[in-house]
Structure 1
């Protein structure tokens, strides 16, 4: 039933998005259409990722979902940088970190916890990711803010460029560590729980669906960005709120849906890999790549966030580590993460 709904939404939403934008239909109407279409496409991305997780393994499935999900945000951010909207891009990066660690993980833990009293995931991965989260968010994001005080803009860009190169190098090293040199070394018993499960789609079909859905999401998301100004005026939303909450949620809708589906099916390794792995990918790959790409545009982007953005991200990292480091979770821990996200959302709305 749910799959049929997703099919109808995509079947109607994608062509309507194309035709509606060409005919300049009412912005608020198109905003709703774009959002629903992305949700429908996210459903297909979730099914494709689930098949890949069975065929290629849970870690690679989660990594692929995070990568395809963040590709959407990367494309949106590049268009925003080209338009000189550096503040919106930085805010959307903040929103991705908060959304993945608090909203996605929170919903995954909560929804899964309603069905299962206790859910386990790979504790070694959790501890490994904790160190990377501290480095990526607390070290790599806070240090530029500290050292940039009193710097001229050129030096801020130089500092951000150097840090970006280091982040990308370490992120690629982390992938090599997990998927090559130490693959299977820290295997948890739950990693084998779905070893003999049959995939809905074969590898080639799943990859084709995932690629096609990502392209469609990227197109619809770009159109959605152009509707934000009118929507902001209509509903009274600030630029910061749009970047942190709206752009981040829409840009990561695919992985949001996938993580929740995986948690409901008790595939917590994939759910956690999507939520935390996507955060690491945003902080250690997407953000530094955007810094480097911005050097090609008239307004380069320094890796310097506002104080409210920094404190929110650091808080999210510390809370996530405290909850996930034991390798199991429940619905109440999910509710705790969601409560933290709601508090920060109120703050950014009123700021």
Structure 2
């Protein structure tokens, strides 16, 4: 029940965040969406850490990154691309976040390599663990500093790069109508003898941006349609709550999430003992789906409206915040609490999954375009990971502990 209760609470967090985001602009709005969307993961991780459920902490954080990168962004690409041939987004924003994700993956690979190298050379296990603890805590502090520098880069020194409007894409039906009107207009102006020349197979219909010149733009109808859609987006939606009310809503929702998370973590042992589900699968797959409900709803909704910058900002930005803020913070918190088991030495299976996912996302977003096929690839990858997590041998071990 607590598992299901977190889902509408995550939606309430999303609604309150959207209300505040409407008053702060698209860039800061995406940052707020990602921040408060990660409140669920942060609360669950803190409670699990206090109860020494290290497996739940580590798997849920890695699972949250995978869920955002593959499931959330995959659904955004897929549903946004159903009605449009392609969608476009700010590559600077996406690739900057992906580069930071690559750094975070490196911070998880190094402790694993450190442990492997030490074990293979016969190093004392106690000293090896002490070295991993020190390495993890030092790396966590560095990652927090990197995140602080990134915030300054995004909100201050290079804010204009993140505010560049990406190209808007007309819907398929509108593109078809404008193409037909283009041919009919040429037919009327030049006569039947030149229609064949203007409709040569393989001649691409020109891709357009709003406000482009007539030499590279769409027909008048397509231009008017895109401009009208942008005008509608600029005029609405409007805030429904006062700023103070939205803040109170966020605070109340966060408190309720904390209560539900407390009972949820307490019930995991019973769930594992009386079902075939392991803590490994719960942490890597189930908890992230619940925790990312807010990002999922927001990202898919704005992607369907062709606001891909915000969709990418929520999905990739949230993953980056987990990697550079939440995970290092949890390691530092474990340091303060004297919990030496909380390190950046994650299961090798999780590290490989994260590495492959980041590489795939980097490859797909490098051209600044998306379509429903790319969304399908991301979703399929996530499903494969879910199946692997269910059958992973370590899951059975966790079930018997």
Q: Give the shorter-chain TM-score range.
A: 0.7 to 0.9
Residue 276 in structure 1 maps to residue 244 in structure 2: no
Name the CA shift for 1:210/1:190 in 2 (closer, same or farther; >3 Å): farther
Q: Report SS of the residue matched to 2:367.
A: coil
Name the CA shift for 1:59/1:157 in 2 (closer, same or farther; >3 Å): same
Name the CA shift for 1:70/1:315 in 2 (closer, same or farther; >3 Å): same
Counterpart in 1 of 2:387? Answer: 346
Residue of structure 1 aligned with 2:154, choices 165, 174, 178:
178
Distance 2:321 2:271 in 1: 29
Give TM-score scaled by structure 1 length. Answer: 0.84
Counterpart in 1 of 2:107? Answer: 140
The alpha carbon displacement at 1:284 in A equals 0.7
The alpha carbon displacement at 1:120 in A equals 1.8
Residue 288 in structure 1 maps to residue 328 in structure 2: yes
My pick for the range that moved more, 276-285 or 128-137, is 128-137
The alpha carbon displacement at 1:186 in A equals 4.8
Counterpart in 1 of 2:259? Answer: 219
The alpha carbon displacement at 1:45 in A equals 2.8
Residue of structure 1 aligned with 2:367, choices 296, 312, 326:
326
The alpha carbon displacement at 1:155 in A equals 1.5
Residue 169 in structure 1 maps to residue 210 in structure 2: no
Residue of structure 2 aligned with 1:200, choices 221, 225, 239:
239
The alpha carbon displacement at 1:298 in A equals 4.7
Please give the root-mean-square deviation of Cα atoms over the aligned residues, in Å.
Answer: 2.0
Q: Report SS of the residue matched to 1:49.
A: helix
Q: Report SS of the residue matched to 1:299.
A: coil
Distance 2:73 2:343 in 1: 29
Distance 2:256 2:167 in 1: 32
The alpha carbon displacement at 1:287 in A equals 0.5
Distance 2:39 2:11 in 1: 17
Name the CA shift for 1:153/1:112 in 2 (closer, same or farther; >3 Å): same
Counterpart in 1 of 2:51? Answer: 83
Q: Report SS of the residue matched to 1:184.
A: helix
What are the within-5 Å matches in structure 2 for residues 53-202 of structure 1? 53-137=21-105, 139-149=106-116, 150=118, 152-190=128-166, 193=230, 194-201=233-240, 202=242
Distance 2:286 2:33 in 1: 20
**Would the aligned equivalents of 1:54 and 1:195 in 2 still touch at CA under 8 Å?**
no
What are the within-5 Å matches in structure 2 for residues 298-309 of structure 1? 298-300=338-340, 301-309=342-350
Counterpart in 2 of 1:16? Answer: none
Q: Report SS of the residue matched to 2:309.
A: helix
What are the within-5 Å matches in structure 2 for residues 239-278 of structure 1? 239-278=279-318
My pick for the range that moved more, 249-258 or 76-85, is 249-258
The alpha carbon displacement at 1:225 in A equals 2.3
**Would the aligned equivalents of 2:67 and 2:288 in 1 still touch at CA under 8 Å?**
yes
Name the CA shift for 1:290/1:217 in 2 (closer, same or farther; >3 Å): same
Distance 1:327 1:205 in 2: 37
Distance 1:226 1:54 in 2: 37
Give TM-score scaled by structure 2 length. Answer: 0.74
**Would the aligned equivalents of 1:58 and 1:191 in 2 still touch at CA under 8 Å?**
no
**Would the aligned equivalents of 1:99 and 1:249 in 2 still touch at CA under 8 Å?**
yes
Q: Report SS of the residue matched to 2:38.
A: helix
Distance 1:315 1:160 in 2: 22
Q: Unpaired runs of 5+ in structure 2?
A: 119-126, 169-229, 393-401
Distance 1:237 1:260 in 2: 29
My pick for the range that moved more, 38-47 or 238-247, is 38-47
**Would the aligned equivalents of 1:45 and 1:209 in 2 still touch at CA under 8 Å?**
yes
Distance 1:337 1:256 in 2: 14
**Would the aligned equivalents of 1:130 and 1:321 in 2 still touch at CA under 8 Å?**
yes
The alpha carbon displacement at 1:209 in A equals 2.5
Q: Report SS of the residue matched to 1:148.
A: helix
Name the CA shift for 1:79/1:177 in 2 (closer, same or farther; >3 Å): same
Q: Report SS of the residue matched to 2:313.
A: helix
The alpha carbon displacement at 1:275 in A equals 0.9
